[in-house]
Amino acid sequence: MTNNGKTVEQVLFENTPEIERLAALCEKSNAIDKELYTEYDVKRGLRDVNGKGVLAGLTNISDVCAKKIVNGEEVPCEGNLYYRGYNIKDLVRGFLEAGHFGFEEVAYLLLFGELPNAKQLAEFHEMLVERRTLPPTFVRDVIMKAPSRDMMNSLSRSILNLYSYDDKADDTSIPNVLRQCLNLISQFPMLMVYGYHAYNYRMGDDLYIYAPEPDKSVAENILMMLREDRQYTDLEAKLLDMALVLHMDHGGGNNSTFTTHVVTSSGTDTYSTVAAAMASLKGPKHGGANIKVTQMFADMKKEVKDWDNDDEVRAYLEGLLNKERFDKKGLIYGMGHAIYSVSDPRADIFKSFVEKLAVEKGCQKEYNLYAKVEKMAPEIIAQKRKMYKGVNANVDFYSGLVYSMLGIPEQLYTPIFATARIVGWSAHRLEELKNVDKIIRPAYKPLAPHREYLKMEDRS
């Protein structure tokens, strides 16, 4: 008990009337008139009024294309994503036709700039397999102790703890950072799955910890380690592998990758940099968006009695926009993207395989509902909102459905995103270290007037 008779938990975790009063003071003192952003030509969110990002850097790693030049003007077009100059559609088609998993091939491309030949890919595979290990007692001493209910926080804590086991943790030379990045790329699936099992064990479930198998792909090992019976189908593994490839990178301006550039520019270590990127990705406006999609559909399936009835589905979607349904935020989650306005290539690739998985899992009715919403939502949004660009399904729209059909728990949706994006973060960290020796420091315009100091007795 504390001096005022409250428990420590009450003091630490309860909002008191005094906290509420001070919070109101915070809100008042921090409020800025939105018109001032226009008056001073400040790009809110580092984007202009049309949503185009402020040019803040150069990159060779990936390119997000959603516009083309027609008669000297930029117009929206079908979206395309390029990794090191290769169209993601061609990359996916290539490894599917070759009959192998794509994660390691595309990771090699993002890190080293060229597609590997058979010998290089085999050597890279062996390099990653050797690194699929954790320090002795790490699972017991770090992951099993005080497991978090939030897997992104659990992952971040594990990453920061790995710093303590690295004798060259602060060495930011390219060879050393590459070593650290390859370690993390290999370790992420274990940190994610073990963290999930540790928390469930604390909640009373059985504990099973399986070591990754050297002959299996990243996707296969994730499914094997996650499931008590270790079983999965080829289609399940191939679709999860594709999800990892599609989420590996998305330009240098997305929030978590820009965070990687910003933090790297300060000269800090790899573990702190990746933990910062994880904090960014955790946000529901970034990596947590696919969870919102599945939660929205769960609510929709309860509220809409006949999923085949267009009028019922339309009424629900209109209710979402009118802030009457689900979380009452006025959003149809999974629709729209900061860059793509005609189509998201990742969603297009996903959709072509999602239906196959839905048939295998007996989820055709659920898939048909998703397809119906994808078709109807842009029209309804256009009627209800003033838009400067079109709206289409983004990759989060279908990824949540894929993960749910794979039996992946919702708590791991964003960590799986991170397991893919660690490859892109690594590539961007190496690029920042190689090319820019200047800390990123944008300007903010101060608005508060300068004031004379008041003695205590003169303050109201």
Give Rg (Cα) of the chain. 24
Q: Is 299 helix (H, G, I), strand (E, B) or coil?
A: helix
**Known catalytic membership, residue 337:** yes
CA–CA distance, 422 with 426 (Å, rounded to integer): 6
Please, what is the Cα angle at 43 between 274 and 261, to 5 degrees? 20
Distances (CA, A) of 344 to 214, 335, 354: 34, 10, 15
Closest to 300 (Cα-Cα) out of 390, 209, 401, 389 = 401
Q: Which amino acid is at 448?
A: A
Burial environment of residue 195 by CB neighbours within 10 A (0 to 12, 13 to 18, 19 or more): buried
**Known catalytic membership, residue 396:** yes
Which among 63, 249, 269, 396 is annotated as catalytic?
Answer: 396
Which among 125, 261, 337, 428 is annotated as catalytic?
Answer: 337
Question: Could you give phi then psi for residue 198, rounded to 5 degrees?
Answer: -60, -45
Neighbours of 285 (CB within 10 A): 10
DSSP state of 114: S
Distances (CA, A) of 124 to 112, 119, 369, 421: 11, 9, 41, 18
Q: Is 81 helix (H, G, I), strand (E, B) or coil?
A: strand
Q: Which amino acid is at 122?
A: A
Please enumerate in sequence order all residues whose Cβ is within 8 A of that of 66, keeping only pairs 6 or more positions apart, or say none.
Answer: 76, 77, 79, 80, 339, 340, 341, 342
CA–CA distance, 318 with 307 (Å, rounded to integer): 15
Q: Which two tokens stand for residue 164?
A: 């303590």
Give the residue numbers marked as catalytic: 337, 396
